[in-house]
């Protein structure tokens, strides 16, 4: 399954991936500090476990404690 994470195409063996498991698969440090957009829309924190990612979805992790303009 292909997913575009922060602009980079990634190939995963799993057929179905939740946002929570995607955070784990991508080795995201301090996932509680990351917000997630799927195809440009924010996913509620409460729905990370139940939201699944589809083939070719664009997923963005936003590191709000990090650098840049955040």
Answer for which of 11, 13, 40, 64 binds other proteins (CB under 8 A) is 64
| 3-class DSSP assignment, residue 25 | helix
Cα angle 56, 60, 64; round to 5: 170
Answer for which of 27, 32, 40, 55 binds other proteins (CB under 8 A) is 32
Straight-line distance from the first to the last Cα atom of the chain, in angstroms, rounded to the nearest whole number? 31
**CB contact at 8 A, 48 and 36:** yes
Answer for which of 2, 33, 49, 52 binds other proteins (CB under 8 A) is 33
Choose the stretch contacting other proteins; rule: CB under 8 A; options: 9-17, 18-26, 49-57, 58-66.
58-66
Contact residues for other proteins (CB under 8 A)? 6-7, 29, 32-33, 35, 42, 44-46, 60-70
């Amino acid at each position: 399954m292909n997913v575009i994470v922060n602009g980079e195409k990634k190939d995963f063996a799993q057929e179905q991936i939740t946002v929570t498991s995607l955070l784990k698969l991508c080795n995201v440090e301090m996932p509680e500090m990351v917000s997630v957009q799927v195809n440009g829309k924010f996913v509620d924190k409460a729905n990370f476990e139940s939201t699944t990612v589809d083939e070719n979805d664009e997923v963005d992790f936003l590191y709000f404690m990090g650098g840049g303009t955040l």
